[in-house]
């Protein structure tokens, strides 16, 4: 997030040089970079937006680091509540927890000072006019986004009383934003409207209809707090990200509403504006959080001592209310804008930050020894990786999301339409669904690598996601891909699968022909399929996907030992004439089951001749061996 050194210096005059400020923030608070000129780029953690996404917040941090007093400039006011000019309605309190509206009469709309323009530009905001610029300046100072409506442009225009309604948009409604974008609205978008039409997209962008111009005489200042999830989703949905939406999306505190509104009132008064009326709805009153801080507990947690008065001074400088209970205990009241402080450990972290984490002395860790535990999934994945890399396959890592063009693999006859799980707000149409199969990306990997290599062998182990009877499922899957320029890919794939399963200790499995693919069966249950196809470039693809979680039931830690027979083997070659449509695997299986004396069967030759017609000659090598005797020719 961008910050202005000029604004920091204005609200905290004791500030050292810009370079020194960057060094101090990097050392004690947040990662900070110098973007040149007046600009500091400060990386804020998500839970610190309520207090630190503001120049007041950063100034407060620097005051603690420099051990100097920071005079917080907010002066709270008691606004008039005649309710004659402004009224607010909130249709759903979960959408908007607090809304404060101030009604002003102004004397003139003009340009802001050069200093304010410089500050706004440093933070990436274009100056508009003195009224709008005050709202943006206050957002930079306090962290509370504000919006301003031209009161005379609200319906009904012939009435002094103006009503603002916080509601969901209606399907079919539209709004033209201040930057002239036409946004189509729906019931998932929160808007601020008058009694007729939307005036602003809540927490994101104002509408052109109620914008401030040189003729504006009366304004309504909005300071509100909207549901963070709703603002985040809307910003993604309409592809509109603003300084306000970023802050609201990070769940900023309700307490900032009054701070921001009163700071803006201070500036408007300086340019001659008069506060006439106000209206507030607060559906979420802040309950003051009180946490005890114990010196001994701090030392036990951190491993370093801290002076009692020093810790007390840190908390006071940070804006906490502190009460000294005794010489070792402090009672800390947490201000509403420090939403990140939830327990003692958070308080300890605040003290440690300003003591200097780099000052901690190294110490041996004290850990509790637990009983040995094996993660079977981790062990299986490790085994698979070791086996496949030894078989010269390279591991790949692919994206978990797929696009609209990936819902089927035509070459394999696979369609995933009914299994797809759609992401609620995808970043693009190319990353719209969770992947239902590893083969989608593996096929792309093979095609991309075929530009550089004639032969490619890859694998991936990862989660797949799919719908099954309206239930969302995820499971671990193993994908294999082989590409060759010869009709060998399917045979290589069968060899890889065979070797993998055997080395995993799965002895009883079958590779069964199933139409245009090969089914992998374990215990007569299908656990995966081998697919193959040829493209127009005469490249041969073989792709396999196996249910890796199912393998866990059958993987054995140790292979069963079988003693070698002490009796010699007898080898015979036999040639048979069979039709082309008979599967070789079926023949091997058939021969193996003829006799218990058959130890092994291999195909060693194939021969074709026109005189055979629609038949082929196959030669098998059969190994006979007995465990209890020497075999005779008979």
* Residue 510, pLDDT score: 84
Question: Rounded to two decimals, what is the model's pTM?
Answer: 0.66
Which comes out higher in pLDDT, residue 360 or 172?
A: 172
Task: Categorize the per-residue pLDDT at 560 as very low, low, confident or very high, splitting at 50, 70 and 90.
Answer: low
Phi/psi at 469 (5° precision)? 55, 50
Cβ atoms of residues 579 and 587 within 8 Å:
no
Candidate from 286-290, 411-415, 437-441 with smallest mean pLDDT: 286-290
Q: What is the reported pLDDT for 561?
A: 62
Contact 296, 288 (CB under 8 A): no
Largest CA distance in the chain: 119
Task: Identify the H or E element spanning 357.
Answer: none
Residue 374 has pLDDT above 70, yes or no: no
Predicted local distance difference test score (pLDDT) of residue 603: 82
| Residue 382, pLDDT above cutoff 80 | yes
H or E element: which one contains 484?
strand 471-484
pLDDT at 156 over 70: yes
**pLDDT for residue 372:** 54
Closest to 462 measured CA to CA, from 432, 490, 499, 434: 434
Per-residue confidence band for 559, with pLDDT thresholds at 50, 70 and 90: low
DSSP annotation of 48: G
Q: What is the pLDDT of residue 542?
A: 93
Q: Evaluate if residue 556 carries a pLDDT over 70.
A: no
* Mean pLDDT score, 569-585: 87
Give the pLDDT of residue 32.
95
Q: Give the span between the Cα atoms of 130 and 125, in whole angstroms.
A: 13
Mean pLDDT (whole number) for 422-428: 84
Q: Give the residue from 314, 462, 302, 500 showing the smallest Cα distance to 377.
A: 462
Percent of residues, the chain, with pLDDT higher than 90: 70
**Average pLDDT value for residue range 317-344:** 93
Which stretch of 372-376, 391-395, 422-426, 560-564 has the lowest confidence by average pLDDT? 372-376
Task: List pLDDT tens digits, range 214-258.
Answer: 999 999 999 999 999 999 999 999 999 999 999 999 999 999 999
In a 10 Å sphere around its CB, with 0-12 CB exposed, 13-18 middle and 19+ buried, how is residue 508 labelled?
A: exposed
Average pLDDT rounded to a whole number, residues 445-473: 92
| Alpha carbon distance 355, 65 (integer Å) | 9
């Amino acid at each position: 997030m961008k910050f202005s050194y000029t604004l920091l210096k204005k609200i905290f005059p004791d500030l050292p040089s810009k370079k020194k400020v960057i060094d101090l923030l990097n050392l004690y608070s947040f990662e900070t970079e110098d973007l040149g000129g007046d600009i500091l780029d400060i990386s804020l953690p998500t839970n610190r937006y309520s207090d630190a996404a503001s120049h007041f917040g950063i100034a407060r941090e620097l005051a603690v680091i420099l051990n100097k007093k920071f005079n917080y400039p907010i002066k709270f006011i008691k606004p008039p509540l005649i309710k004659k000019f402004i009224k607010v309605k909130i249709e759903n309190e979960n959408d908007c927890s607090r809304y404060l509206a101030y009604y002003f009469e102004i004397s003139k709309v003009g340009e802001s000072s050069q200093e304010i323009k410089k500050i706004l530009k440093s933070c990436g905001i274009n100056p508009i006019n003195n009224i709008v610029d005050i709202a943006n300046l206050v957002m930079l100072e306090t962290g509370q986004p504000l919006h301003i409506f031209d009161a005379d442009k609200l319906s009904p225009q012939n009435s002094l009383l103006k009503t603002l309604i916080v509601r969901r948009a209606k399907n079919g409604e539209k709004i033209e934003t201040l930057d002239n974008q036409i946004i189509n609205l729906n019931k998932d978008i929160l808007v601020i409207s008058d009694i007729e039409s939307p005036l602003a997209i809540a927490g994101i962008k104002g509408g052109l209809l109620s914008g401030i111009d040189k003729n504006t005489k009366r304004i309504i200042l909005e300071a509100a707090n909207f549901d963070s999830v709703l603002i985040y989703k809307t910003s993604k949905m309409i592809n509109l990200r603003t300084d306000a939406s970023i802050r609201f999306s990070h769940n900023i505190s309700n307490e900032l509403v009054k701070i921001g509104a009163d700071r803006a009132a201070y500036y408007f008064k300086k340019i001659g504006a008069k506060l006439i009326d106000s209206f507030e709805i607060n559906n979420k009153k802040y309950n003051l959080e009180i946490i005890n801080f114990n010196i001994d507990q701090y030392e036990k947690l951190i491993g370093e001592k801290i002076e009692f008065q020093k810790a007390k001074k840190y908390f006071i400088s940070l804006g906490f209310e502190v009460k000294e209970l005794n010489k070792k205990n402090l009672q800390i009241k947490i201000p509403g804008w420090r939403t990140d402080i939830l327990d003692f450990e958070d308080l300890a972290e605040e003290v440690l930050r300003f003591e200097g984490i780099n000052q901690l002395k190294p110490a041996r860790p004290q850990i509790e020894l637990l009983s040995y535990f094996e993660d079977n999934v981790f062990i299986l994945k490790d085994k698979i990786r070791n086996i496949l890399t030894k078989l010269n396959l390279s591991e790949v890592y692919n994206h978990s999301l797929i696009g609209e063009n990936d819902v089927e693999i035509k070459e394999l006859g696979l369609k995933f339409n009914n299994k797809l799980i759609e992401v609620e707000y995808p970043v693009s149409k190319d990353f719209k669904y969770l992947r239902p199969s590893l083969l989608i990306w593996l096929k792309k990997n093979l095609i991309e690598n075929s530009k550089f290599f004639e032969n490619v062998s890859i694998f991936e182990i990862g989660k797949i996601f799919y719908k099954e009877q309206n239930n969302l499922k995820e499971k671990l899957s193993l994908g294999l891909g082989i590409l060759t320029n010869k009709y060998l890919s399917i045979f290589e794939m069968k060899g890889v699968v065979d070797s993998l399963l055997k080395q995993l200790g799965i002895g009883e499995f079958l590779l069964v022909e199933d139409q245009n693919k090969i089914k992998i069966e374990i215990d007569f249950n299908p656990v995966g399929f081998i697919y193959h196809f040829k493209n127009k470039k005469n490249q041969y693809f073989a792709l396999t996907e196996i249910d890796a979680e199912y393998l866990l039931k059958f993987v054995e830690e140790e292979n069963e030992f079988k003693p070698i027979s002490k009796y010699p083997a007898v080898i015979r070659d036999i040639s048979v004439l069979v039709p082309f449509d008979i599967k070789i695997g079926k023949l091997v299986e058939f021969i193996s089951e003829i006799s218990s004396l058959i130890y092994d069967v291999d195909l060693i030759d194939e021969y074709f001749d026109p005189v055979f017609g629609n038949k082929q000659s196959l030669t098998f090598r059969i190994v006979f061996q007995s465990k209890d005797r020497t075999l005779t020719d008979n």
